[in-house]
Amino acid sequence: MPSVNNFPREKLLAPGKNFRHHAPAFSTGKPPVARMKAKIIITPKKAVVDPQGITVKKALEHMGYTGVTGVHIGKYIEIDLAPGTDKAAAEKALNDAAHKLLSNPVIEDYKLEIE
């Protein structure tokens, strides 16, 4: 079977020949299932020196942006949850994962939102 990379672009995008032209996922007559998404925002603790933030702050000042008193560089993580997931159980598990794996609790704080 030839690789996708070997096909001409026109053939890959030809109507009826690719996944974009298939029937919608919810065409079975069943109502759509609500999906949940977890958002985790990780930032350095206020007492921790943030070298990336300092560098960005200096660069902004050098470029003429005035009034910037501080920059904090962090991480933003989105996690899609399976349909029907229990929100309370997901929140407990994700708090545990954020504390043990996704953040460094010694130097970082995190905020978890599930919607």
Cβ-contact 42, 103 below 8 angstroms: yes
Alpha carbons 53 and 71: distance in angstroms, whole number: 5
Tell whether 55 is covered by a domain.
Answer: yes
Query: On the CB side of 105, how many CA atoms lie within 13 Å of its CA?
Result: 7
Q: What is the pLDDT along the chain (115 residues), one digit of tens a residue?
A: 444 455 455 554 445 544 444 444 544 555 666 789 999 999 999 999 999 999 999 999 999 999 999 999 999 999 999 999 999 999 999 999 999 999 999 999 999 999 9
Tell me the residue range of the domain where 69 lies: 33-114
As for how many domains the chain has, the answer is 1
Cβ-contact 6, 12 below 8 angstroms: no
Tell whether 97 is covered by a domain.
Answer: yes
Tell whether 38 is covered by a domain.
Answer: yes
Token readout for 39 is 């958002």
Tell whether 86 is covered by a domain.
Answer: yes
User: Is-above-0.85 flag for pTM?
Assistant: no
